[in-house]
């Protein structure tokens, strides 16, 4: 037998038992000739005691040669620790194993970084190069375990709801959806290329046409983007599609699924249904379509309040069609005059006018506009911005064009949020955003583009507007946001060929091009495509939020750098000339500087 127990499970009840453990040597201590070390595996750590009298001199010399991270197999007897050496912080802290026999299964060079520092000070590239050591000595294993368990719970839930998990192809066709495709030359079809899927979108729609009724997949997806912070070229999504449903079915299924999997995996209670708001309302109240409801600093229209004052600069702006908008921050004591000056400067640098602010400390009002603010205005302001705590509140406001000042209010909000040190761990606020526009106008390319993807259905009542006013059309899409981060989105899809063609036409895709790229979808829509829709949730981000990590890299076993490289394997790498030839491609050296 290799081992009788794991390193995290022995306790007083095992006293007197002969046990065998395997693991890594951890923190060796020589206490007056008696050698203590811990033996560690994924499951925990157990203290081992070796007394010189139990071994020949030669054997004991070998024990003295042990080093950290060597792999050993030990045999010994479980003993209760003396009361003063009990360590109640670990499950095995009441016992130790008195060593009878040790076998070194493998040695180890000294680690390139200190274990205890693994998570903090070490350079990212070094951590990635020795990723296996970082995994061994950090919380990553636990993140991976939780991730796996969460995925399993998702499957458990969906399978109980009659969903079928279907593996869709990784080697597929280039069908640009927005991001760039990774491409794969086909050796058997010279000059032709596969593309790696940006999502299983079209395959899941085809499965619905195929009558599968309820599909899901925990699917690997690929996007060749210029990697912004915390993006990965490959990522995983929980991908779902259903037939004969509407928006509410998918929303309610998603809520129940998340509730089930989160509660079962993380022991975090999730209240459903989640709140929802329209895209317009999110933009107006939070200046963002991914509002963070943990800190609901809501923007309010203050135009009518200030119109009652004699503040000329504001009245002028309003007369020219502008509005006045602001929010209250109830922890005013955290904002100094200096802070206000800094915010004012940031607003001006971002192209804004002056920052308006009013501090309300009980009956004490401070503001550059103090003398123009009679008590009735203050009272109306208080009720408009909804001041809940009057010890010390500050109302910030700006005047001008709504879109512009909403952007600028976001700058103020960010500055203010930095003052709240409480990072609200374990608070999880979900919100659905609905009623998105179907198209947005790309002013650079002077054409409409799909806000979600071009397979998103417009609202039934807007279908007549394709040729008259596409900019005002609303879609049947919905996004789900957790703590200010978009974790997923979906829609009811188009299941009629003529509507799909109208969308392609509106985004400037000629029928010829559309047929070339998406002909197979258009064809499928002619053969009894049922009404269908679905959703995709980003697993990496979701796990990052639920484990309280600040980067998705901590939730992925072998992540890549921002340049898309893997310092561990040195991928991507050079390729043998022979393989390039077989694939009928050449490296375009002229382009490489």
* Touching a second copy, residues 148-177 (CB under 8 A): 148-149, 151-152, 155-156, 159, 164-175
Our CB check for a second copy shows the closer of 135 and 399 to be 135
Our CB check for a second copy shows the closer of 79 and 155 to be 155
Our CB check for a second copy shows the closer of 389 and 520 to be 520
Peptide bond into 278 cis (omega under 30): no
- Which of 186, 303, 367, 392 binds a second copy (CB under 8 A)? It is 186
Closest alpha carbon to 566 in 127, 148, 198: 127
- With contact defined as beta carbons under 8 Å apart, do 246 and 530 qualify? no
Sheet of 214-222, strands arranged across: 164-165, 214-222, 234-243, 532-538, 485-492, 477-482, 430-434, 276-278
- Which of 49, 66, 71, 365 binds a second copy (CB under 8 A)? It is 71
How far apart are CB 513 and a second copy at their closest, in Å?
11
Contacts of 536 (CB under 8 A, 6+ apart): 199, 237, 238, 239, 240, 488, 489, 490
Q: Is 554 in the site for a second copy (CB under 8 A)?
A: no
- Which of 100, 220, 334, 465 binds a second copy (CB under 8 A)? It is 220
User: Of residues 317-356, which lie at the interface with a second copy (CB under 8 A)?
Assistant: none
Taken in order 215, 220, 222, 226, is the CA torsion positive or negative? Answer: positive
User: Of residues 37-56, which lie at the interface with a second copy (CB under 8 A)?
Assistant: 40-43
- Which of 39, 95, 118, 202 binds a second copy (CB under 8 A)? It is 202
- The half-sphere exposure of 117 on its side-chain side, counting CA atoms within 13 A, is 10
Size of the site for a second copy (CB under 8 A): 127
Sheet of 393-400, strands arranged across: 300-301, 323-329, 393-400, 356-361, 364-366
Binding mask 529-548 for a second copy (x = CB under 8 A): xxx-----------------
Closest alpha carbon to 408 in 357, 352, 358, 354: 352
Q: Tell me which stretch binds a second copy (CB under 8 A): 387-395, 406-414, 432-440, 550-558.
A: 550-558
Our CB check for a second copy shows the closer of 70 and 306 to be 70
Pairing of strands 214-222, 164-165: parallel
Binding mask 114-153 for a second copy (x = CB under 8 A): ----------------xxxxxxx----x--xx--xx-xx-
Helices (H), 161-299: 201-209, 247-266, 279-286
Our CB check for a second copy shows the closer of 232 and 406 to be 232
Closest alpha carbon to 412 in 462, 333, 349: 349
User: Of residues 2-31, which lie at the interface with a second copy (CB under 8 A)?
Assistant: 2-3, 22, 24
Our CB check for a second copy shows the closer of 371 and 563 to be 563
Q: Is 566 in the site for a second copy (CB under 8 A)?
A: yes
Our CB check for a second copy shows the closer of 218 and 360 to be 218
Q: Is 185 in the site for a second copy (CB under 8 A)?
A: yes
Our CB check for a second copy shows the closer of 64 and 145 to be 145
- Cα radius of gyration rounded to whole Å, the chain: 31
What is the b/e burial string over 353-372, where b = at least 16 CB atoms within 10 angstroms of the residue's CB?
A: bebbbbbbeeeebebebeee
Pairing of strands 234-243, 532-538: antiparallel
Our CB check for a second copy shows the closer of 387 and 463 to be 463
Q: Is 506 in the site for a second copy (CB under 8 A)?
A: no
- Which of 207, 277, 340, 552 binds a second copy (CB under 8 A)? It is 207
Q: Tell me which stretch binds a second copy (CB under 8 A): 288-296, 382-390, 461-469, 564-572.
A: 564-572
How far apart are CB 214 and a second copy at their closest, in Å?
8
How far apart are CB 94 and a second copy at their closest, in Å?
23
Our CB check for a second copy shows the closer of 138 and 392 to be 138
Say how far apart CA 276 and CA 303 lie, in whole Å.
26
Q: Tell me which stretch binds a second copy (CB under 8 A): 227-235, 264-272, 414-422, 427-435.
A: 227-235
> Which phi and psi (to 5°) does residue 537 adopt?
-115, 135
- Which of 87, 244, 336, 419 binds a second copy (CB under 8 A)? It is 244
What is the b/e burial string over 103-130, where b = at least 16 CB atoms within 10 angstroms of the residue's CB?
A: eeeeeeeeeebebeebeeeeeeeebbbb
How far apart are CB 267 and a second copy at their closest, in Å?
17
Q: Tell me which stretch binds a second copy (CB under 8 A): 194-202, 329-337, 374-382, 404-412.
A: 194-202
């Amino acid at each position: 037998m290799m081992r009788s127990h794991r390193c995290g499970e022995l306790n007083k009840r095992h006293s007197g038992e002969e046990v065998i453990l395997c693991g890594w040597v951890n923190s060796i201590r020589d206490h007056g000739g008696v050698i203590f070390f811990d033996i560690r595996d994924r499951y925990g750590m157990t203290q081992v005691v070796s007394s010189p009298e139990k071994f020949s001199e030669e054997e004991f010399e070998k024990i003295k040669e042990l080093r950290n991270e060597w792999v050993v197999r030990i045999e010994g007897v479980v003993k209760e620790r003396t009361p003063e050496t009990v360590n109640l912080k670990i499950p095995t802290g009441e016992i130790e194993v008195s060593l009878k026999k040790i076998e070194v299964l493998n040695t180890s060079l000294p680690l390139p970084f200190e274990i205890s520092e693994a998570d903090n000070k070490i350079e990212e590239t070094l951590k990635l190069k020795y990723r296996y050591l970082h995994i061994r000595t950090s919380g990553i294993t636990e993140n991976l375990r939780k991730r796996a368990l969460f995925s399993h719970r998702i499957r458990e839930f969906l399978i109980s709801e009659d969903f079928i998990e279907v593996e869709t192809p990784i080697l597929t066709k280039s069908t640009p959806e927005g991001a760039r495709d990774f491409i794969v030359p086909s050796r058997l079809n010279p000059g032709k290329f596969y593309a790696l899927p940006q999502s299983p979108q079209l395959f899941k729609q085809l499965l619905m046409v195929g009558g599968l009724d309820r599909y899901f997949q925990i699917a690997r997806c690929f996007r060749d983007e210029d990697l912004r912070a915390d993006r990965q070229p490959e990522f995983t999504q929980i991908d779902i599609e259903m037939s004969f449903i509407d928006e509410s079915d998918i929303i309610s299924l998603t809520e129940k699924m998340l509730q089930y999997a989160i509660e079962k995996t993380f022991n975090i209670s999730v209240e459903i249904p989640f709140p929802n708001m329209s895209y317009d309302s999110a933009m107006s109240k939070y200046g963002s379509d991914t509002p963070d409801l943990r800190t609901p600093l809501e923007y309010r229209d203050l135009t009518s309040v200030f119109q009652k004052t004699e503040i000329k600069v504001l009245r002028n702006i309003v007369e020219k069609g502008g509005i006045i908008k602001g929010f209250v921050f109830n922890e005013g004591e955290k904002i100094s005059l200096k802070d206000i000056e800094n915010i004012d400067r940031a607003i001006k640098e971002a192209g804004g006018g002056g920052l308006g602010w009013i501090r309300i400390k009980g009956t004490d009002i401070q503001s550059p506009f103090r003398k123009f603010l009679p008590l009735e205005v203050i009272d109306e302001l208080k009720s408009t911005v909804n001041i809940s705590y009057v010890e010390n509140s500050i109302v910030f406001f700006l005047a001008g064009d709504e879109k512009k000042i909403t952007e600028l209010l976001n700058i103020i909000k960010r500055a203010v949020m930095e003052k709240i040190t409480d990072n609200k761990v374990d608070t999880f606020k979900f919100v659905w955003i609905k009623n998105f526009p179907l198209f947005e106008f790309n002013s650079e390319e002077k054409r409409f583009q799909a806000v979600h993807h071009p397979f998103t259905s417009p609202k039934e009542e807007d279908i007549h507007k394709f040729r008259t006013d596409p900019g005002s059309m609303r879609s049947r899409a919905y996004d789900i946001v957790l703590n200010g981060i978009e974790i997923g989105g979906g829609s009811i899809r188009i299941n009629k060929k003529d509507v799909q063609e109208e969308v392609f036409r509106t985004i400037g895709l000629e029928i010829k091009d559309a047929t070339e790229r998406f002909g197979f979808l258009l064809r499928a829509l002619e053969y009894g495509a049922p009404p269908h829709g679905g959703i995709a949730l980003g697993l990496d981000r979701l796990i990052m939020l639920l484990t309280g990590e600040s980067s998705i890299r901590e939730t992925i076993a072998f992540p890549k750098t921002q340049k898309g490289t893997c310092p561990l394997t040195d991928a991507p790498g050079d390729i043998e000339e022979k393989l390039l030839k077989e694939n009928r491609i050449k490296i375009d050296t002229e382009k490489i500087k």
